[in-house]
Amino acid sequence: MPVWEVDGAPLVYDDDGAGPVVLLLHAGIADRRMWTPVAAALAGRFRVVRYDLRGYGESAPPPKSFAHHEDVAGLLDHLGVERAALAGCSFGAGTDRRTGAGSAGERAARAGDRSGAGDRGRGGHPGVRRLADRLAATMPRARRLPDIPDAAHLLPLERPEPVAAALAALLSET
């Protein structure tokens, strides 16, 4: 497992596959492993990067103040990535959104924002769907994944196969 040290804090990441880069950002109750099945499915066609945000999984807690979206930009620099698609789940979608609005935004060509608008029960949670629609409409170059049947908030954990298929289709559009 590769480690990138930033401001005295080691950040652990995985970097698999080759091709256009997609950076997967985990939820606040998980770590990079939540994307393992999705990453495995995408790595045949894409370079898939996922990392543990500071204080999550195998990454160290922050020794001083920081911003997750600045870590994303720094990791892309560290890896020599000029352009990447970002996909986030829950908290990771917020990091995705802030990265798209920040200095790395020009490199986040197709920000595949996913805020957890699943379709469990009778149509999922309409508030989450509205939020996902609004984020996709207001973020430059953002696209929203389609709703995934029989899933709720943590789609990569609940329904990895349809999430991987939807991300691959989205990433192949351009």
pLDDT tens readout for residues 41-96: 999 999 999 999 989 999 988 888 888 878 888 898 999 998 888 888 776 665 65
pLDDT top residue among 3 and 146: 3
Amino acid at site 125:
H
- Give the residue from 138, 77, 78 showing the smallest Cα distance to 103: 77
For the chain, how many structural domains are there in total?
A: 1
Q: What is the CATH number of the domain that holds 159?
A: 3.40.50.1820
Of residues 25, 29, 66, 73, the one with CA closest to residue 49 = 25
Domain membership of residue 114 as a residue range: 3-172
Distance CA 89, CA 70 (A): 18
End-to-end C-alpha distance for the chain, whole angstroms: 31
